[in-house]
Chain A
Amino acid sequence: MTAKSPALDVRGLEVGLLTADGRVQAVREVSFSIGRGEIVGLVGESGSGKSVTALAIMGLLPRASSYVRGSAVIAGVDLLALSPRQLARVRGRDVGMIFQEPMSALDPLFRIGDQIAETVRAHERASWRAAAARAVEILGEVGIPDAATRARAYPHQLSGGMRQRVMIAMALVSAPAVLIADEPTTALDVTVQAQILGLLRRLSSDHGTAIVLITHDLGVAAENCARIHTMYAGEIVETCCVDDALLAPKHPYTSALIQCIPRAGQRRRPLSSIPGRAPPLAAMPSGCRFRPRCVHASDACKAPQPLLDLGDRAVRCVRYDEIALPGAVGSVAP
């Protein structure tokens, strides 16, 4: 693998789900790539498709009620083309995932050290003793004090922040090139969140782990990601470096989302909110999916909207160069 080739390259991801409303498309035309040591954000509100994207890449959607098209390549291997058995070998070894709720990944009946050691043995030939030593080592690396003792604890004996660290340790013990973190700090207190995000940044810079950080929190994205992909109703609507998104967003949704966040200096003034609600998957509007809620919508928006490549950024809005959109800093961007 050359230095240039991305750690994870997702192309043309499409996800359909079988729901009570019939077959719906949950994710459409999602492409992104992420390099070694990079942290890239998938940002959006609930229902935007960011978690479904992650689950599809990991092959964690139920096969019977979903279909996934496109490719997700790590180290030359397309995850989406693998059989369940092949995928099980790749998961954990080449790509790890952490979730909002650590108890979804931890078994309450086993000591945390044993659970991590088991993960080690699933991917490499190691004795129990060596795997257990490796577990203690990684627990220390993710900032668990007195790791040798804590390795003998059961999940319920740990605080939320500590469990989150254990899940991160388990995801990273086989040193995967790619880590998908789905709202990893949403359930945590803000002081603990700061520590966990610091840990992820350090892993990324020290070990070159490529991290896909899925978050609804633009603040979390701003402080941790180099680039962000803003998702709305199953599509990426804007891709750019995080400062561009905050200073001069080019998609009306990105701009509207920024304007909803309370800002110091505008205390106790009404916030702008986005009228209406995101469309249900079963009833997507034609053309631009944000059109019914967009104050800038015109007839041109009724046509299907491709993601327009603007060189260092991309935007799914036909009117991007006609409209001036405000960012996170007071006035309307030039």
Chain B
Amino acid sequence: MRVAACDGGARAEPLLSIDRLDVQFRLPGGGATLKAVDGVSFEIGRREIFGLIGESGSGKSSVARAIMRLAPIASGSVTLAGIRFDQLQGRDLRRHRRRVQMVFQDATDSLDPRMTIRQALAEPLRMRDASARDAPENIVADLLHRVGLDESHLDRKPRGLSGGQRQRVAIARALALEPELLVCDEAVSALDVSVQAGIINLLLSLQQELGIAVLFISHDLGVVAHLAERIGVMYLGRLAEVATAESLTARPRHPYTEALLAAEPEPKPSSLRAPRPPLIIGDAPSAANPPSGCRFRTRCRYARELCASEPPRLRPLPDGGLVACHFAEELVLEGRRA
């Protein structure tokens, strides 16, 4: 099955296309495997910000790592601008790898503590152009300005920067390779809200001014809904729903999305909040031993017999979204008030 794009209209070739992706890890001791990602398909258009949301164990980071070739792909494909990215080897891989760059949650872990910011930025520039012995100063300066830093930061080491500034350096490093796709895995999650806002603005400007596409992975629905045009919701390795940010938050079609929206605390005065009891009870089952049929059924308040026997496929809905729920047509789910 090929999943249709859900913008309702004709669509140019996507920048990134993930088709029936499986990622498996072997569990320590014994031959058991954990299917972290199970048959996930979605596309990201050029210049699109696509959000991927889910709780711990949902497999969202494994999707990112599989795209980056950092996690083993058991089956399925990752196609970038027409190239089977998952099958690249050796020289071809080196040549194309720069086209997708990743930003992690904590830049302290991805920046070498002994390198100055100048060195940290020069390193990817040398990879881009092996003939250049020194990175041209003006390119380094451009990169810094692009992410909202300036030359005064050049000779500092990561330790001498704030968390937000380090994250900006990590983004600048990613940009140095002129990627077409930026994969951000919880890239603002460790930051204070006042700092987080600045990074969100930076990502928006990168998309608007440089035309970069972004895969933005986060557990924070508020942040994802602000940034992304379309959002995929993952639960225990599978996509539960894909829709535009507007329709996903206003009119969720999957019970899990509804529960996520209900659980997200809203910084609004009581007059504007509709307090609701939590819609799901208990913790998510282990991804190593997922329930039969629909994986959400053990926590779903609408679950019926069919949900235990038949895994729902991700299928298109008339309004353009995709949902993996047998009863999406008849359920009336509550979204968030604007």
Residues of chain A at the chain B interface (Cβ within 8 Å): 45-46, 145, 159-162, 189-195, 197-198, 216-224, 242-243, 246-247, 256-258, 260-268, 270-274, 277, 327-329
6 A/B residue pairs, CB under 8 Å, sorted by A: A190-B265, A193-B263, A216-B193, A217-B267, A274-B194, A277-B162
A residues in contact with B61, CB < 8 Å: none
A residues in contact with B219, CB < 8 Å: 189-190
Asked whether, in the complex, the Cβ of A159 is within 8 Å of the Cβ of B283, the reply is yes
A-B contact count (CB 8 A): 134
Contact for A194 among B192, B197, B263, CB less than 8 A: B263
Contact for B281 among A195, A247, A258, A272, CB less than 8 A: A195
A residues in contact with B194, CB < 8 Å: 45, 256-257, 260, 273-274
A residues in contact with B284, CB < 8 Å: 189, 191
* Known contacts A162-B283, A193-B263, A222-B269; is-contact A262 B223 (Cβ 8 Å): yes
Asked whether, in the complex, the Cβ of B272 is within 8 Å of the Cβ of A191, the reply is no
Asked whether, in the complex, the Cβ of B200 is within 8 Å of the Cβ of A219, the reply is no
Asked whether, in the complex, the Cβ of B222 is within 8 Å of the Cβ of A262, the reply is yes
B residues in contact with A191, CB < 8 Å: 55, 259-260, 263, 278, 280, 284
B residues in contact with A159, CB < 8 Å: 283
Distance between Cα atoms of A261 and B195 in the complex (Å): 11
What 8 A-B pairs are tightest by C-beta distance, nearest first?
A219-B265, A262-B226, A189-B55, A273-B197, A218-B267, A194-B263, A274-B194, A45-B192
Residue of B nearest to A220 (CB): B265
B residues in contact with A219, CB < 8 Å: 222, 264-267
Residue of B nearest to A264 (CB): B338
Distance between Cα atoms of A270 and B204 in the complex (Å): 7
Distance between Cα atoms of A263 and B222 in the complex (Å): 7
Residues of chain B at the chain A interface (Cβ within 8 Å): 55-56, 162, 164, 192-198, 200-201, 204-205, 219, 221-223, 225-227, 229, 245-246, 249, 259-260, 262-273, 275, 277-278, 280-284, 336, 338
Residue of B nearest to A246 (CB): B269
A residues in contact with B225, CB < 8 Å: 262, 264, 267
Asked whether, in the complex, the Cβ of A271 is within 8 Å of the Cβ of B200, the reply is yes
Asked whether, in the complex, the Cβ of B267 is within 8 Å of the Cβ of A222, the reply is yes
Residue among A197, A216, A242, A268 with max Cβ neighbours from chain B (10 Å): A268
Distance between Cα atoms of A220 and B200 in the complex (Å): 21
Asked whether, in the complex, the Cβ of A190 is within 8 Å of the Cβ of B277, the reply is no
Asked whether, in the complex, the Cβ of B226 is within 8 Å of the Cβ of A271, the reply is yes
Asked whether, in the complex, the Cβ of B201 is within 8 Å of the Cβ of A270, the reply is yes
Within the complex, the shortest CB–CB distance from A244 to chain B, in Å, comes to 8
Asked whether, in the complex, the Cβ of A194 is within 8 Å of the Cβ of B278, the reply is yes
Residue of B nearest to A193 (CB): B263
Distance between Cα atoms of A268 and B280 in the complex (Å): 30
* Known contacts A190-B263, A191-B260, A260-B197; is-contact A268 B269 (Cβ 8 Å): no
A residues in contact with B271, CB < 8 Å: 243
Asked whether, in the complex, the Cβ of B266 is within 8 Å of the Cβ of A222, the reply is yes
Distance between Cα atoms of A261 and B164 in the complex (Å): 16
Within the complex, the shortest CB–CB distance from A183 to chain B, in Å, comes to 13
Within the complex, the shortest CB–CB distance from B48 to chain A, in Å, comes to 12
Within the complex, the shortest CB–CB distance from B126 to chain A, in Å, comes to 31
Distance between Cα atoms of A246 and B56 in the complex (Å): 30
Asked whether, in the complex, the Cβ of B262 is within 8 Å of the Cβ of A261, the reply is no
Asked whether, in the complex, the Cβ of B283 is within 8 Å of the Cβ of A161, the reply is yes
Within the complex, the shortest CB–CB distance from A153 to chain B, in Å, comes to 14
Asked whether, in the complex, the Cβ of B266 is within 8 Å of the Cβ of A223, the reply is yes
13 extra interface residue pairs, beta carbon distance < 8 Å, beyond A192-B283, A243-B271, A262-B200: A145-B282, A189-B284, A191-B280, A198-B278, A217-B265, A223-B266, A246-B267, A247-B269, A262-B225, A264-B249, A265-B338, A274-B194, A277-B195
Asked whether, in the complex, the Cβ of A257 is within 8 Å of the Cβ of B269, the reply is no
Distance between Cα atoms of A190 and B284 in the complex (Å): 11
B residues in contact with A192, CB < 8 Å: 55, 283
Residue of A nearest to B196 (CB): A260
Asked whether, in the complex, the Cβ of B192 is within 8 Å of the Cβ of A190, the reply is no
Within the complex, the shortest CB–CB distance from B189 to chain A, in Å, comes to 10
